[in-house]
Chain A
């Protein structure tokens, strides 16, 4: 048996019974809010596919162009490398940036919101080996115009100066909806 709710917009929502002989109880919370199902929970993960040359002491957007998943097609992996979700809410945003070896100054990974630096993650000093550093933040996005991007900065005279990669393991950008607004 299915329960069909007719919407005022002409469509309908069907609550479908499970195809199992077992019994389950699912309790709706005694609270007001939007029910979250897979269809309204945007999530994405993308990574930088090849080393990206960058300038010294310049905040540069990571061109994470290889998508692992993008459940709601909210991540632009072609032009702007940004996540613009279509559901308003609170998003967990994760970023990791790998850097070339020989940093004499600093390296930074940071999240930009709407074009400005918003949450800075790790900021490390001089290192000889290839470091990869992370940034994570819980960010409110309005579901229409708000977007986030991943930037990195390196301070070093050593060249080549790059965001470095190792398959999908280093230099990636991710996000998912934690809860709706």
Chain B
């Protein structure tokens, strides 16, 4: 799952981060979870390769 992959890359992320600077979303359209917004002040948005 996307959340687990991101946490594996950045274990320091907290639940609060996912409610403030990072938004994961699933539109129930069969396309799965995706990063809707990534505004973390220090950690870079993971690349597609890192999330593959």
Contact = CB atoms under 8 A, between A and B. Distances in A.
The main secondary structure of chain A at its interface with chain B is loop
Which of A56, A63, A105 has the largest count of B CB atoms less than 10 A from its CB?
Answer: A56
A59 interface: yes
Contacts of A81: 28
Contacts, number: 48
Interface of A: 52, 54-63, 79-81, 105-106, 108, 151, 153, 155
B39 interface: no
The main secondary structure of chain B at its interface with chain A is mixed
Contacts of A61: 26-29
Interface in B3-49: 3-4, 15, 18-19, 23-29, 33, 36
Given A54-B26, A80-B29, A81-B28, A59 B36 contact: yes
Contacts of B1: 55-56
Contact of A155 (B4, B15, B36): B15
Nearest to B27: A61
B2 interface: yes
Contact of A60 (B4, B18, B19, B28): B28
A5 B23 CA distance: 54
Contacts of A151: 25
Given A55-B3, A58-B2, A106-B15, A63 B28 contact: yes
A63 B24 CA distance: 17
Contacts of B28: 52, 60-63, 81
B18 A57 contact: yes
B3 A57 contact: yes
B26 A59 contact: yes
